[in-house]
Amino acid sequence: MDKTITLLDPTAELEAPDRTLLPRLGSLEGKTIGLLDISKPRGKEFLDEVERQLLALGLDLEIKRYQKPTFTRVAPLQLVQQISVDCDALIEGLAD
């Protein structure tokens, strides 16, 4: 019984992308932290609170705020590049 039937793969044949994490920050001391609002309702309130709590840590850190034009699309390349240049870490307010 060596009968086989060929089926063609309907998927994109993507192997699970082997993405390694960037090195974790040992401390937030002296770092720049980005806060990204994806333009979902009340994202600003959420990130305001995150900012308040970060600053309350009493560390020497800088906060930068960013906003996506719309939550429905991936961030524009220019914004991604800007964040990667500006920040050591990013916190994203993902959904409402």
85 scored as a contact of another protein (CB under 8 A) = no
Q: Which stretch binds another protein (CB under 8 A): 4-12, 27-35, 48-56, 76-84?
A: 4-12
Q: Are 28 and 61 in contact (CB under 8 A)?
A: yes
Identify which of 73, 54, 77, 72 has the alpha carbon closest to the alpha carbon of residue 64: 54
Q: Are 45 and 13 in contact (CB under 8 A)?
A: no
Minimal distance, residue 34 CB to another protein, in Å: 22
**Spatial separation of the C-alpha atoms in residues 26 and 10, rounded to whole Å:** 44
Minimal distance, residue 96 CB to another protein, in Å: 9
Nearer to another protein, 46 or 63 (CB): 46
Query: Does residue 24 sit in helix, strand or coil?
Result: coil
Residues in contact with another protein, counted by CB under 8 A, come to a total of 21
- The two tokens of residue 93 are 């307010």
- Residue numbers 18-77 binding another protein by CB under 8 A: 39, 69-74
Chain residues binding another protein by CB under 8 A are: 1, 3-14, 39, 69-74, 95
